[in-house]
Amino acid sequence: MNPMLNIAVKAARAAGNVILRNMDRIDRLDIEAKAQNDFVSQVDRQAEEKIIEAIRQVYPDHSILAEESGMDDQQSDFQWIIDPLDGTTNYLHGFPQFSVSIALKAKNRLDAAVVFDPVKNELFTAARGEGAQLNDRRIRCTQQKGLAGALLGTGFPFKHPQHLETYLNTFRAVHPHTAGIRRAGSAALDLAYVASGRLDGFWELGLNAWDMAAGVLLVREAGGIVTDFSGEGDYLETGNVIAAAPKVYQSLYEQIKPHLTDDLK
């Protein structure tokens, strides 16, 4: 295995252990509201500490961007992008759909990715140019030929209520053409599911880089297409993403595009 990917796997599993150990004491956790509908618990922080510790032991000079501790002051060609618990609200309700997400950017290109579901013990991994895997088995996006019969994932803009009506317009446009749309609450896992063929496509607006960086590389290495809402590659900056199997992407993009406001294009 790619040595940096190996460290990401080790870090993700360490974080997963923290998450699982605390599942039977959720009602006793210290929980804070960072913003409206945006929560953080001591488990998020402890899991992030484990990830950073694992990385720093081997790569002390690399830069880190993490959800809870932000960006450090290191100047490096390598940056680790970390979400220690993607799906915190699910976790705090005992809803078993959450994940650890770790990505590595090397010279501004996504180079390695891990999305780990500790409940199902499912480890999604990818390295640039080497494909994507689930528990050491190669995965690929589906061969679905369009939206008809497709199963899609999405996320509501609960942190950005000003965009709710725009989002609902995209939902109304897409929904009639599909077999169904799921909103499970962990963008990292949704993207991993696109990569593994469990979903045919996914779209969401207002994400952070740590929500999607690992999942984006998984989809790309599994043969999928990922863009922002303008059809370009600035999703980590805009926070808006469309990811889909190759023959689904264009139809999904065409349904969404007419309903976007100028500030989301």
pLDDT per residue rounded down to tens, the chain (265 residues): 689 999 999 999 999 999 999 888 877 776 666 555 455 578 888 999 999 999 999 999 999 999 888 878 788 999 999 999 999 999 998 999 999 999 999 999 999 999 999 999 999 999 999 999 999 999 999 999 999 999 999 999 888 888 899 999 999 999 999 999 999 999 999 999 999 999 999 999 999 999 999 999 999 999 999 999 999 999 999 999 999 999 999 999 999 999 988 777 6
Helix (H, G, I), strand (E, B), or coil: what is residue 170? helix
Residues paired with 71 in a beta bridge: 65
Predicted local confidence at residue 24, as pLDDT: 85
Asked if 221 contacts 195 with a C-beta cutoff of 8 angstroms, the reply is yes
Report phi then psi at 72, rounded to 5. -85, -175
- 125-136 b/e with 16+ CB inside 10 Å = b? bbbbeebbbbee
List % helix, strand, coil for the chain (3-state, nearest 5). 40, 25, 30
Asked if 35 and 71 touch (Cβ cutoff 8 Å), the reply is no
Q: Phi/psi of residue 82, each to 5°?
A: -125, 130
Q: What is the model's pLDDT at position 39?
A: 52
Strand order in the sheet with 78-86: 70-71, 63-66, 78-86, 99-106, 109-117, 122-127, 132-134, 137-139
What is the C-alpha radius of gyration for the chain, rounded to an integer number of angstroms? 17
What is the pLDDT at residue 31? 65
Contact 181, 153 (CB under 8 A): yes
Q: What is the pLDDT of residue 160?
A: 83
Contact present, 148 and 120 (Cβ < 8 Å): no
Residue type, 5: L
Instruction: Give the closest residue to 8 by CA, choosing from 70, 57, 43.
Output: 57
Q: How far apart are CA 26 and CA 22, in angstroms?
A: 6
How high is the pLDDT of residue 34?
58
Dihedral pair phi/psi, residue 98, rounded to 5°: -160, 165
